[in-house]
Amino acid sequence: MPTRASRHIVQNEPLLFEVSAPGKQGCQLPPLDVPPVELAGARPEITDFPEVSELEVIRHFTRLSTWNYGVDTGIYPLGSCTMKYNPRINELVTRLDGLGDGHPLQPEALSRGALRIMDLLSRYLLEITGMDAITLQPAAGAQGELTGILLVRAALAARGDARRKVLIPDSAHGTNPATAAIAGYQVENLKSNPAGTVDMASLERQMTADVAALMLTNPNTLGIFEADIHRIADLVHERGGMLYMDGANMNALVGRSRPGDFGVDVMHLNLHKTFSTPHGGGGPGAGPVAVKRELEPFLPIPVLTRRNGEPALDYDRPRSIGRVRAFYGNFGMFTRALAYIMANGCDGLKQTTEDAVLNANYVRKKLEGAYALPYATPSMHEVVFSDANQTAQGVRTGDVAKRLIDYGFHPYTVSFPLVVRGAMMIEPTESASQAELDEFVAAMLAIAEEAKTQPELVTGAPHTTKIGRLDEVAAARQPHLRWQPKR
Ligand SMILES: *Cc1c(COP(=O)(O)O)cnc(C)c1O
């Protein structure tokens, strides 16, 4: 048995209702010396409020906080999500006076610093992507996609060549077809070749005069670089379409390769993946959209320009697609991303990219054999295995993921991308040290062994958590979220 990296503490923590005892108080108030009044808004139907001491409350919430597995707890190898460390310098910068308490309704004359920050971040992102113009407004990757595809639609309409379809490879993120459909396009599936990349013959056939854009993730969701990207871009352009790049995987390219140089017309970035701003739990993100010149007139208002040499906001953009979000975007993400870029510098960013790719390939080499590798093409920043070696024992990708929890790790991404049956998608990011990768690998290898010798140990996992295996369908469709007192 390998040593277990059981870092998360699983306490048997009761509800405050359950530790309540009549008469216990969290604070002591002086005797009442004014007439009592009815509390406005009180809900008399809620009875049995817990009566607990201050220390019980503190311990309760402190213990609960330790149940939360996060990037600050241990490796978080959720593929496609890029759960890298959020450096504390980002937080420090974001809380500086004047930034942390800036208000979006502040007049422009009092927001010079904020505008300079947006301007500097924009320039860095343009240098990193090799594109011509950018909007920071979209609040997430998916919203960036929608913004980008609306820009394509506006630009093609301006050419007098509105088109109906968007081509999307079968390895795409689910948000891509959703985006194209919401923007009013028909989605056409483009199949991958045995190498896991765009099948050029299919593209040749399907890239017709009706196709507005090809939406491509590069590296794609298999973690594979589209090596034919120049031919792909040329073909799409020859046939009058545009190339949209889903840039969520830019952490594999920053400092090494620029989408603007390999023919991309429009792309989004996920600051909350590539540039280390925190994400998860539906918190604020940022999905800037960078474009080539032709698309610039259509960018959402306000557009950041220069007036008398100073960054300023331009609302007078008659061809703009309009606003996609209130105000200017999630400003707190801009300061964090800019801090990350500046703290790393050119060489640091490049090294980050190389380390992310190195870590993924380290895991790949160590797990090859124990787990099936559906595509032999070299991996970039993430590696996709499948459960094909385990299915004969009745062990599936979801079981291995749940068993990882017993070993103290956050699971990898389960059953995505859809092109791989039983996918196990692992993205360690550059944040993991070699020692941590070794622990993760040891756990994965131990589970592969368990799957052979005692598969029920894996299919019944997790065993160490407060709540074991849920019926996933019932948990999603008929959740019981309310605690009822025992009467
Ligand atoms: C994460 C991701 C998205 C969506 O980004 P959100 O910020 O979650 O909306 C789109 N495409 C790919 C490839 C992604 O990994």
- Strand pairing class (186-190; 383-386): unpaired
Which residues fall within 8 angstroms of residue 298, CB to CB, at 6 or more apart?
Answer: 150, 151, 154, 155, 158, 319, 320, 321
Report how far residue 245's alpha carbon sits from residue 252's, in angstroms, rounded to the nearest whole number. Answer: 14
Among residues 342, 372, 398, the one where a domain terminates is 342
Index of the ligand 1 atom closest to the CA of residue 82: 15
CA of 141 to the centre of ligand 1 (A): 5
Owner of token pair 């009706």: 210
Nearest CA to ligand 1 atom 3: 141
Strand 383-386's sheet: what is its strand order? 383-386, 423-426, 413-414
What average pLDDT score do residues 178-198 get? 97
Report how far residue 373's alpha carbon sits from residue 322's, in angstroms, rounded to the nearest whole number. Answer: 45
pLDDT bracket for residue 2 (50, 70, 90): very low
With respect to residue 57, please indicate whether it lies within any of the assigned structural domains: no
Index of the ligand 1 atom closest to the CA of residue 285: 7
pLDDT surpasses 60 at 347: yes
What's the full length of the chain, in residues? 487
Return the structure tokens found at 456: 């029920």
Most ligand 1 atoms within 8 A of CB, residue of 145, 244, 246 to mutate? 246
pLDDT bracket for residue 340 (50, 70, 90): very high
CA of 17 to the centre of ligand 1 (A): 39
Residue 232 backbone zone (phi > 0: left; psi -120 to 50: alpha; other: beta): alpha
Nearest CA to ligand 1 atom 15: 80
Contact 115, 265 (CB under 8 A): no
Q: Are residues 148 and 99 in the same domain?
A: yes
Q: Are residues 332 and 266 in the same domain?
A: yes
Q: Are residues 364 and 334 in the same domain?
A: no
With respect to residue 17, please indicate whether it lies within any of the assigned structural domains: no
pLDDT bracket for residue 1 (50, 70, 90): very low
Out of 57-71, 182-196, 213-227, 437-451, which region has the weakest mean confidence (pLDDT)? 57-71
CATH number at residue 173: 3.40.640.10
With respect to residue 23, please indicate whether it lies within any of the assigned structural domains: no
Return the number of other C-beta atoms located less than 10 Å from residue 109's C-beta.
7
Most ligand 1 atoms within 8 A of CB, residue of 217, 218, 270 to mutate? 270
CA of 95 to the centre of ligand 1 (A): 27
CA of 144 to the centre of ligand 1 (A): 9
Contact 128, 290 (CB under 8 A): no
With respect to residue 278, please indicate whether it lies within any of the assigned structural domains: yes
Contact 401, 411 (CB under 8 A): yes
Return the structure tokens found at 472: 């996933």
Return the structure tokens found at 26: 């969290």
Report how far residue 11's alpha carbon sits from residue 212's, in angstroms, rounded to the nearest whole number. Answer: 54
Q: What is the phi/psi pair of residue 57, to 5°?
A: -65, -45
Contact 183, 149 (CB under 8 A): yes
Cα–Cα nearest to 144, from 316, 269, 327, 278: 269
Nearest CA to ligand 1 atom 8: 141
SS3 state of residue 425? strand
- Strand pairing class (423-426; 413-414): antiparallel
Nearest CA to ligand 1 atom 4: 141
Percentage with pLDDT > 70 across the chain:
97
Q: Are residues 196 and 97 in the same domain?
A: yes
SS3 state of residue 310? strand
With respect to residue 35, please indicate whether it lies within any of the assigned structural domains: no
CA of 142 to the centre of ligand 1 (A): 6
Most ligand 1 atoms within 8 A of CB, residue of 149, 173, 224 to mutate? 173
**Cβ-based burial of 284 (10 A; exposed 0-12, middle 13-18, buried ≥19):** middle
What residues line ligand 1, using a CB cutoff of 6 Å?
80, 140-142, 173, 175, 217, 221, 246, 248-249, 270, 285, 287
Cα R_g (the chain), whole angstroms: 26
CA of 139 to the centre of ligand 1 (A): 11
Index of the ligand 1 atom closest to the CA of residue 143: 9
Nearest CA to ligand 1 atom 6: 141
Owner of token pair 């870590």: 359
Report how far residue 290's alpha carbon sits from residue 288's, in angstroms, rounded to the nearest whole number. Answer: 7
Q: Are residues 259 and 122 in the same domain?
A: yes
Most ligand 1 atoms within 8 A of CB, residue of 80, 143, 179 to mutate? 80
Q: Are residues 325 and 178 in the same domain?
A: yes
CA of 206 to the centre of ligand 1 (A): 25
Q: Are residues 254 and 290 in the same domain?
A: yes
- Could you tell me which residue, 182 or 29, shows the higher pLDDT? 182
What total of structural domains would you count in the chain? 2
Q: Are residues 335 and 221 in the same domain?
A: yes
Owner of token pair 């968007």: 166
Among residues 316, 342, 368, the one where a domain terminates is 342
pLDDT surpasses 70 at 11: no
| Confidence (pTM) | 0.91
Q: Are residues 411 and 324 in the same domain?
A: no
Index of the ligand 1 atom closest to the CA of residue 270: 7
- Domain extent, residue 310, equals 88-342
* Residues 78-133 pLDDT 10s: 999 999 999 999 999 999 998 999 999 999 999 999 999 999 999 999 999 999 99
Q: Are residues 143 and 210 in the same domain?
A: yes
- Could you tell me which residue, 373 or 466, shows the higher pLDDT? 373
CATH number at residue 462: 3.90.1150.10
* Residues 241-288 pLDDT 10s: 999 999 999 999 999 999 999 999 999 999 999 999 998 766 789 999
Q: Are residues 136 and 285 in the same domain?
A: yes
Report how far residue 363's alpha carbon sits from residue 367's, in angstroms, rounded to the nearest whole number. Answer: 6
Give the rounded distance of the alpha carbon of 79 from its chain centre: 9
CA of 43 to the centre of ligand 1 (A): 42
Nearest CA to ligand 1 atom 14: 248
With respect to residue 24, please indicate whether it lies within any of the assigned structural domains: no
Index of the ligand 1 atom closest to the CA of residue 221: 13
pLDDT bracket for residue 487 (50, 70, 90): low
Return the structure tokens found at 176: 């891509």
Q: Are residues 311 and 440 in the same domain?
A: no
Index of the ligand 1 atom closest to the CA of residue 175: 10
With respect to residue 333, please indicate whether it lies within any of the assigned structural domains: yes
Return the structure tokens found at 463: 């065993």
CA of 50 to the centre of ligand 1 (A): 41
Among residues 298, 323, 342, the one where a domain terminates is 342
Q: What is the pLDDT of residue 369?
A: 95
Cα–Cα nearest to 371, from 358, 390, 356, 357: 390
Report how far residue 330's alpha carbon sits from residue 278's, in angstroms, rounded to the nearest whole number. Answer: 12
What average pLDDT score do residues 361-371 get? 98
Cα–Cα nearest to 243, from 256, 222, 259, 220: 259
Q: What is the mean pLDDT of the chain?
A: 94
With respect to residue 484, please indicate whether it lies within any of the assigned structural domains: no
